[in-house]
Every structure is written in structure tokens, then in C-alpha cells.
């Protein structure tokens, strides 16, 4: 993805920072969900499925914060606009 963005779009630094944001999403989601990874019975599957939403919400918050900081670099109104759209 970084190679494609650098070659065809000409913007290497934003490509790196946004791809790091995507990697952060995966790392946070996996680290939150990994502690619950174990064989479960049928009744516990619903509980485990409900854990996915908060894990993804936290991962999205971290990802959007990194992406917004990488795009804007300052804490002002533009940051919150970037965070909301990230």
C-alpha cells in the first residue's frame, strides 16, 4: 500500500502514517481479544461475540487518534475534524 501510494500518488509520509494507523487498529483489537481466546461452550459464544464491539471501538479510537495526529499534528478544531472523519 505504501509503495502504491508513493509511486502513483506521490505522497510517501501520509502513506506511512495512515498504514501505521491501520496496523495499530489490528494490534489493539488483537491484544484486547487475545485474552479471551479459548474453546468455549455454546452459551459463552454470545458473551465472546459481545466483546468484539468494545474491542473494535477501542481500536478505532486509537487508530483515528493516530491518523488525525499524523494528518494535522496539532490540537485544534482541524484535529477534531480529522478525528471524526478518520
d(CA 73, CA 18): 13
User: So what's the pLDDT on residue 83?
Assistant: 66
Q: Cell numbers 481500536 correspond to what residue? A: 59
In the chain, where are the structural domains located? Answer: 2-85
Q: What's the confidence (pLDDT) of residue 26? A: 93
Nearest to 70 by CA among 24, 28, 29: 24
Query: For helices 77-85 and 52-72, what crossing angle results, to 10°?
Result: 140
pLDDT for residue 69 = 74
Cβ-based neighbour number of residue 68 at 10 Å: 21
Give the distance, in angstroms, between the CA of residue 42 and the centroid of all CA atoms in the same chain. Answer: 30
Residue pLDDT tens, the chain, 86 long: 777 777 777 677 777 887 888 899 999 999 988 877 766 666 677 777 788 899 999 998 888 888 777 766 545 556 667 666 65
Amino acid at each position: 500500500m505504501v509503495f502504491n501510494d508513493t509511486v502513483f500518488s506521490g505522497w510517501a509520509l501520509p502513506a506511512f502514517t495512515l498504514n501505521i494507523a491501520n496496523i495499530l487498529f489490528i494490534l489493539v483489537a488483537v491484544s484486547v481479544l487475545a485474552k479471551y481466546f479459548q474453546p468455549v461452550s455454546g452459551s459463552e459464544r454470545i458473551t465472546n461475540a459481545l466483546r468484539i464491539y468494545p474491542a473494535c471501538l477501542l481500536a478505532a479510537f486509537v487508530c483515528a487518534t493516530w491518523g488525525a495526529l499524523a494528518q494535522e499534528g496539532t490540537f485544534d478544531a482541524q484535529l477534531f475534524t480529522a478525528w471524526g472523519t478518520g
